[in-house]
Chains A and B, each alone.
Chain A
């Protein structure tokens, strides 16, 4: 068992409101990702769940029982810190053994458990080294091992892969997903990397300035962002946003372009809107009835695809194209829009107006 529920968490540091009513419901066995930019309150959320932060308001329930007043030890959680927090004077072995020593396991049990987790994470040959003798990736594995050596109620992980180089990060992503599946345990995983969130999570909570913006599966968050900010934060290249308003059966852009008004939107005429278009829902190669006139602004070849920056009026659209495409800046072209997959937001509140009709 391992459900984690946080309700209405509030915490301020002086004038900074780090958590402004955070509510999360993590089901048993989930890979639950908290995604947000730096300073969003992700670490504070994890620390509050772990019992390391005294809350101004809110409650934490573990396995359905109120644990708000429990000490960290009583909560039976394991955490991987963003800084790893490996004990500097102790060997990797002793670091990994620490949770078992604290719980008074026998030394034969400890040896067996450390061996098991060391082979799981391929760090057998590092066990006698101290943290100062380990590379970043090795420290990260040891920190993971210290958490995984026990079977706690849930694992809390604070950006464990952020400090690794790209290749190692991609490897560890797969490995962590594999470990999660084989353990069947509850993971609460914090990251500022939306690729990590989308590729690893069962469920994502998007956090900004201490407030949860949206909770959902990676697909939901990507396909149906609750507001303009989530749409902009999730996805790479970032979604392109164009100011416009509805006029009868047309959408009219601030720069004068027009598109057919999508059937699903309920926005009344004249209301200030933002049209959100993802790169893969735009094309410079196909023809369709919904298209925008623009000119090539730049090309960004990425190997498997090329992102074409197209200037429409004063704004830049990012358009996904095949890798072999060519174009010279200034060249005029039409960008075809898949309006069924477009997003509309209220320009004032930023809230999505797309949900209703889909």
Chain B
């Protein structure tokens, strides 16, 4: 977000105007900034607002031309439909299971790996880390066909386990990279001291370093969770039955019949977006601390 704000401010149509803006008095500059940010916020938030509005409009008002912004009738019917008649509740449950399990797995595997990469001298450590990162260079969609074929061969197609494994595979490298930054920040001497106290190396990690990593783990897990929760391409290719499908393909599946129940689509989208928003809000302090901690070397 911060990046896009900067770009929006500096990439004005007439670059010559930028210096006068900078030189303006504090108040004038603040007004320009607020105006630009307001425009930006409106542009970015409009689709979200529209989605929320649609989700609480009576069907009549959803399809009204011209569109009604303020004077529509409010209803929660669409939300009831999401959980009762549409069958989407199964998809949401699947999403919770798949995203939750893959995040837990990626954390359990990635955090110790990050610790090892941070603490030990390994042969070709830099190359190994680069290889791990390189798995994230290409878009996942590139490998979806081979994975589909492999999954069909070993019977993981159309299973929650299949999705959990593929999401874990994508989240582990991310977790290792992100967590290595956090582990690097914790002095290794705490573990050295603990080992002299009489603990084993693993006990030293668990009792002394791990508690200091909790904010970093929370931040990393939120990112992994958001990735798994939002993932669409693998979900739609690797699953087909309604009992296994996660929410993104299931919601997408609502669009495409002869008539589209936009109220239901909007309501399910809101329900889909909420958990991530709430979770990110709860750990927002750790997120910011985490991102800066991991990035800035002292």
Contacts and interface: CB of A to CB of B under 8 A. Distances in A.
B211 interface: yes
Nearest to B208: A87
B189 A81 contact: yes
Contacts of A35: none
Contacts, number: 57
Nearest to A50: B196
* Chain B interface residue number, banded: 10 to 19
B192 A81 contact: yes
A87 B208 CA distance: 7
A78 B195 contact: no
B194 interface: yes
A110 to B, nearest CB: 12
Contacts of B190: 85, 87-88
A72 B190 CA distance: 13
Interface string A77-107: 1110101010111000000001101110000
A103 B194 CA distance: 11
B212 A88 contact: yes
Contacts of B194: 87, 98, 102
Given A81-B189, A83-B189, A52 B211 contact: no
Indicate the size class of the contact surface on chain A: 20 to 34
B199 interface: yes
Contacts of A325: none
Contacts of B212: 88-89
Contact of B200 (A71, A83, A85, A87): A71
SS class, residues of chain B in contact with chain A: helix
Contacts of B199: 73, 102
Contacts of A73: 195-200
- Residue from A51, A83, A102 with most neighbouring chain B CB atoms (10 Å): A102
A98 B192 contact: no
Contacts of B198: 73, 99, 102-103
B189 A72 contact: no
B197 A98 contact: yes
Nearest to A88: B212
Contacts of A79: 192-193, 196
Interface in A87-143: 87-89, 98-99, 101-103
B28 to A, nearest CB: 43
Nearest to A53: B192
A146 B196 CA distance: 11
B19 interface: no
A85 B187 contact: yes
A199 B193 CA distance: 28
A52 B208 contact: no
A196 B25 CA distance: 60
Interface in A52-78: 52, 71-73, 77-78
Given A83-B187, A89-B212, A52 B200 contact: no
Interface string B190-232: 1011111111110100001001100000000000000000000
A203 B179 CA distance: 45
B200 A78 contact: no
A47 B189 CA distance: 11
A85 B197 contact: no
Which one of A72, A81, A99 has the greatest number of beta carbons of chain B within 10 Å?
A72
Nearest to A82: B189
Contact of A52 (B187, B192, B197, B203): B192
Nearest to B203: A102
B76 to A, nearest CB: 46
Given A85-B187, A87-B190, A72 B196 contact: yes
Contacts of B197: 73, 98-99, 101-102, 146
A71 B203 CA distance: 13
A101 B193 CA distance: 13
B211 A89 contact: yes
Contacts of A47: 192
Contacts of B200: 71, 73
Kindly name the residue among B187, B190, B203, B212 whose own CB sees the greatest number of chain A CB atoms within 10 A.
B190
Contacts of A99: 196-198
B212 to A, nearest CB: 7
Contacts of A88: 190, 212
B187 A72 contact: no
Interface string A6-19: 00000000000000
A127 B165 CA distance: 48
A345 to B, nearest CB: 39
Contacts of B189: 81, 83, 85
A300 to B, nearest CB: 39
Contact of B195 (A71, A87, A101): A71
Contacts of A103: 198
A101 B208 CA distance: 13
26 contacts: A50-B192, A50-B196, A51-B195, A52-B192, A52-B195, A71-B200, A71-B201, A72-B192, A72-B195, A73-B195, A73-B196, A73-B197, A73-B198, A77-B196, A79-B193, A83-B189, A85-B189, A85-B190, A85-B192, A87-B190, A87-B194, A87-B208, A88-B212, A98-B194, A99-B196, A103-B198
Q: Report, nearest first, the 8 A-B pairs whose CB atoms are least far apart.
A: A102-B198, A85-B189, A72-B195, A99-B197, A85-B193, A102-B197, A73-B198, A98-B197
